[in-house]
Copies of this chain bind each other. A is one copy, B any other.
Amino acid sequence: MENNLEEKRQPGKPRILIVGGVAGGASCAARARRMSEKAEIIMFERGPYVSFANCGLPYYVGDVITDESDLLIATPELFKSRFDIEVRLGSEVRSIDRKKHEIEVRNRQTGKVYREEYDALVLAPGATPVRPSLYGIDLPGIFSLRTIPDSRQIRERIAERKAKRAVVVGGGFIGLETTENLVRRGLSVTIVEMLAQVMPPVDPEMAVPIQEHLTANGVSLHLGDGVAGFEQDHEGNTISVVTRSGGRYICDMVLLAIGVRPEITLAKEADLEIGRLGGIRVDDQMRTSDERIWAVGDAVEVRDFVSGEWSLFPLAGVANRQGRTAADVVLGREATFRGVQGTIVCKVFDITVAATGMSEKSLNRSKLHDQEGHYEKIYLHPGHHVNYYPGAKPITMKLLFSTKDGKVLGAQAVGEEGVEKRIDVIAMAIQQRATVFDLEEAELGYAPQFGAAKDPVNIAGMIAANALRGDAPVAHWADATSSQSYVLDVREPQEFDLGHVEGATNIPLHSLRDRMSELPRNREILVYCAVGQRSYYASRALRLNGFSAKNISGGMKTYRAEGGEPASEKPKDKLPPS
């Protein structure tokens, strides 16, 4: 028998009740049917739809997706005819009686309340948009974007009010994707974000290209400023978004996109264990603290695959994996959820940002690098394909790795083309616990339209591996500005004159070998160029000639992304004190 649940609990027809019918719940239900033809599977969904394309909602707002029904991945009818799964829409599960193994359900249309018995209960209630208690938050025209009705209301507001100005509160995925789509609809958009950066999953310097791109597309960006409240004018036509710093942004509609929090009301009232981050606590079989209750999706806390620490990752693919794991375990299979890497990708106008594994921010918050030794980071700015073929677009990449064993800890990339490919490749590397030495050796496809004989993934691995081997140790701009190091710029004089780092000495790479006598032997030399390649060659030559040289990773391009203001006057003649 494949089906342990049937044997153990209720010979004949085990009852699996699933609370929530979107990604995690729907995946769990369909998988459960594939594991058992006998189980009775009922899915309760509070809203009017199951299995809809959450991630498509911003594009429905923007008329990229024009037919609302395209957002429906599956209907209750399909679940019935294809999988023999019963779906009850508009059905709110109000409580769990863990002793009797029953749930209480309320039909939101008829008001009828009834109870259903379960052999296994799977909670997939998802997450709810964060809605802080600010004054005016309930004014008409302030929206979240989480459900099909949400998107419909936004569309209606735009049409009815002939909306021209929107404020988007929050610069994460939903905020940025919806910004693009509101601009597409002809609105002028202001983003108000409490952090000093958009796209919180990546590090601040990696968000800079996105911010520049938003600005270039006419979006007003107000970073580092939280919302204090909302006011409407006397006619009720416009909304003013008032910020803590005293800013006031008048608009026709507001999107609140400041994140989601796990929906745990039901779990909490049933006294299931809740984690420190506010998600339902589950084991690696997706089981809650009650052995007959599982939980999946945005409502649960998960282990970060890299650090092993509890985290929240509200991602559709993750919810689906968890749904399948829970179904397997419910039906007696060996199955383990391996944790979450946090692989993300987001397109905003023409720019793509993607990441996998840990960011530098999350590493600094984590205990990982205390336990495992330190991490190092490197930057690079390769073309997405060879330069000799027309149309190469630069990618800015950041790679984080363990200095103990070279394990890849995380990667981030931003650019117009080929970004998601490099991050997906590194996501697979991280899953397999690969090192930077493996990235260096990766054999990826090369044709002029797609890459290079040395792919950006290879280059990232090489830079990191060269640093770990001690061949070309890397330094960072923070070292250059805070230390007494000697800073050497190996670009051409005309590049130097257009902007360089204050106090740097310019010796172009091609004349470096002839001019080494000008360099100090008793100080660390930090070398930079435009992106880090020429300075790598220079630092190798210097080190082999007995100098203590390091390559400033990412060069001037990273300097600018980190907020550095290049000096553009000729370098001062005086050498720094030696």
Contact = CB atoms under 8 A, between A and B. Distances in A.
A474 interface: no
A571 to B, nearest CB: 22
Interface stretch (A260-268, A374-382, A417-425, A562-570): A417-425
Contact of A510 (B81, B434, B445): B81
Contact of A317 (B305, B444, B510): B444
B424 A444 contact: yes
A345 interface: yes
A84 interface: yes
Contacts of A513: 84
Given A65-B389, A389-B56, A443-B343, A455 B544 contact: no
Interface in A427-450: 427-429, 431-432, 434, 438, 441-450
Given A338-B441, A429-B432, A347 B56 contact: no
Nearest to A466: B34
B345 A390 contact: no
A320 B388 contact: no
Interface string A501-517: 00000000110010000
A425 to B, nearest CB: 5
Interface residues of A, number: 84
A66 to B, nearest CB: 9
Interface in A24-59: 33-38, 53, 55-56, 59
A158 interface: no
Most buried by B among A2, A23, A388, A428: A428
A316 interface: yes
B443 A340 contact: yes
A318 B443 contact: yes
Nearest to A445: B345
A345 B389 contact: no
A442 B305 CA distance: 12
A451 B53 CA distance: 13
A487 interface: no
A249 interface: no
Contacts of A534: 82
A36 B541 CA distance: 8
A345 B447 contact: yes
Interface string A326-354: 00000000000010110111110000101
A91 B421 CA distance: 41
A73 interface: yes
A194 interface: no
Nearest to A320: B453
A408 B343 CA distance: 22
Interface string A443-471: 11111111101110110000000000001
B421 A53 contact: no
A321 B454 CA distance: 9
B510 A390 contact: no
Contact of A347 (B341, B431, B449): B449
A537 interface: yes
A310 interface: no
A510 to B, nearest CB: 4
A158 to B, nearest CB: 20
A70 interface: yes
A315 interface: yes
A292 to B, nearest CB: 23
A227 B429 CA distance: 45
A498 interface: no
Contact of A388 (B38, B73, B389): B73
Nearest to A509: B82
A359 interface: no
A198 B26 CA distance: 42
A317 B37 contact: no
A442 to B, nearest CB: 6
11 contacts: A33-B540, A34-B537, A53-B388, A317-B453, A317-B455, A320-B454, A347-B449, A347-B450, A427-B442, A428-B444, A432-B438
**What are the 3 closest A-B residue pairs judged by CB atoms, nearest first?**
A345-B445, A432-B432, A81-B510
